[in-house]
Amino acid sequence: MNGKQKINILTILVLLMSIALCRAEHGWEYVSSFRQQMYPAGFIFTSEDEGWIGNYYSPGVRHILNGGENYEIVGVPGISSMDIFFVDPDTGWVVGDYGFIVKTCDGGESWDVQHRGDFGIEEMEYPIEFRDIEFINSNEGWAVGGYGIYDFDFNLFLGQIIVHTTDGGENWEVQWGHQWTPQNADLEVLGIPVSVTIADEQRIIVGLSYGVDIERPLFLASENNGERWRFYDGIPCQSTKFVYKGDGVFLGLGSYNNTPYLFTSENYWESWEVIYTSDSLTHFLPRNFAKTNDSLSWVACANAFAEGNVILQSVDDGESWQELYFDDEIGHPLVIYSPQENLTYALFYKELFEYDLYKYDITNDVGASFNDNHSFLPEITLFAAYPNPFNSTVTIRVIADSPVYSSLKIGIFDCMGRLINNLDDLGNSNGNSHTFIWDGANSAGLPAVTGAYFGLVHSAEKKLGVVKLNYHK
């Protein structure tokens, strides 16, 4: 390949990259649209290319194919599908109203009803509506939800239900069935379970939704595999979702007085600390959390009534958060999910029964495609980047095929594509060989956060290639 051909190839790559970036906002790129009578309830990917969306309004689920380029409607027994959970690409469950729990063992080709009905609960006027389901393995899991009880004045009081299985759903037992009557109704605990999060085989936490803001929000938790449940307080708002991050650390998502809150506990759920709130984001409800990699995290904030469409973003593993505002034409982010490191999907609501799927791919942010190690044009060769991952310094050696590129630099970019440092060539006896060392610091000399970074090799004339670096301090 001669020099002119190489330049033409590079020009084409740069043009294609520019077109792709023009279609993106904050790095999020449009994938496809859903034009169906549905309201998303449950959103999960079982691989990079395959996922599922529940439907609150009608039976059936949406099966996402080819990374969102296509989808099909799959019939599932029941009235609605409130949540979906898969332990592997073949084995998954859907829960919904009227006490339905259904399971697939063949990747959604067929679905079998494991349970329907009221679990023998008396005085139930409104049937069970399961809101969430989660399994710790293919055998053990929990499903949570609520049901209605009416008094003689036709006032609705909510009941809570938590069910548990140890045999993959063949049998379910009620571990918690709390209900109210007009005599014992208590607004402090009048909440329906809407989420279940498993920390380990013993610790499970359940978030409650109240419908009204209350002064003493509570949640349910168990420290003994669900044998005993109790109410806990100490959270700043009604919680709709908890995320377990490991080592006893929980992240909570919720709202109070129409204000969003993110809060965390480092001792399971004994004490909580607010890490984000904003009075300017009224009527925004944090819906769910996704973690792209060790540094980059997201929270979808749904709001179909106020101006502004927001996703919260953290580039320091949740220590701080910033608001990313999206154009009104994109819509409101409803749900978000990361099927693998460096890739995240989000579903946006545009208008009634119209939804758009977007994706965030870190490897597109700095304008190059990557494999596990590097991606270079034929004009340069990566000799070594070692150690990688690194926690102190990393040495990068580059060999230029042409002596024209006698002066090379490497720009270090974070996972959002922002330049944080420039590395100078340390020189070598061979004019075509270039050596660079990065100490994990930014241009101000401050240490960078743990995570993935990208080194863009370039000369004064052109960009030549990119190497991925993994920094663990």
Instruction: Give residue 383's pLDDT.
Output: 55
Instruction: Give residue 143's pLDDT.
Output: 97
Span 322-350, pLDDT tens digits = 888 887 778 888 889 998 888 899 998 88
Checking if the pLDDT of 181 tops 90, the result is: no
Span 82-105, pLDDT tens digits = 899 999 999 999 999 889 999 999
Instruction: Give residue 426's pLDDT.
Output: 74
User: Residue 406: which pLDDT band, with cuts at 50, 70 and 90?
Assistant: low
User: Residue 264: which pLDDT band, with cuts at 50, 70 and 90?
Assistant: very high
Mean pLDDT across the chain: 79
Which sequence spans correspond to the domains of the chain? 26-364, 366-471
Checking if the pLDDT of 14 tops 70, the result is: no
Instruction: Give residue 246's pLDDT.
Output: 92
User: Residue with structure tokens 């077109």?
Assistant: 19
pLDDT, average across residues 115-126: 76
Percent of the chain whose predicted confidence (pLDDT) is above 70 = 78
Instruction: Give residue 307's pLDDT.
Output: 55
Checking if the pLDDT of 32 tops 60, the result is: yes
pLDDT, average across residues 300-328: 77
pLDDT, average across residues 37-50: 87
Span 188-232, pLDDT tens digits = 456 789 999 999 999 999 998 876 656 778 899 999 999 999 989
Instruction: Give residue 220's pLDDT.
Output: 92
Span 361-381, pLDDT tens digits = 876 544 333 333 333 444 565
Instruction: Give residue 104's pLDDT.
Output: 96
- What is the distance between the alpha carbons of residues 449 and 447, in angstroms, rounded to a whole number? 7
Please give the CATH number for the structural domain made up of 366-471: 2.60.40.1930
Domain 26-364 matching CATH 2.130.10.10: the answer reads: yes
pLDDT, average across residues 52-59: 82
Between 403 and 59, the higher pLDDT residue: 59
What residue type is 175 in one-letter code? Answer: Q
Checking if the pLDDT of 268 tops 80, the result is: yes
User: Residue 1: which pLDDT band, with cuts at 50, 70 and 90?
Assistant: very low
The answer to which of 129-138, 156-165, 174-183 has the lowest mean pLDDT is 174-183
User: Residue 256: which pLDDT band, with cuts at 50, 70 and 90?
Assistant: confident
Checking if the pLDDT of 382 tops 80, the result is: no
Instruction: Give residue 461's pLDDT.
Output: 61
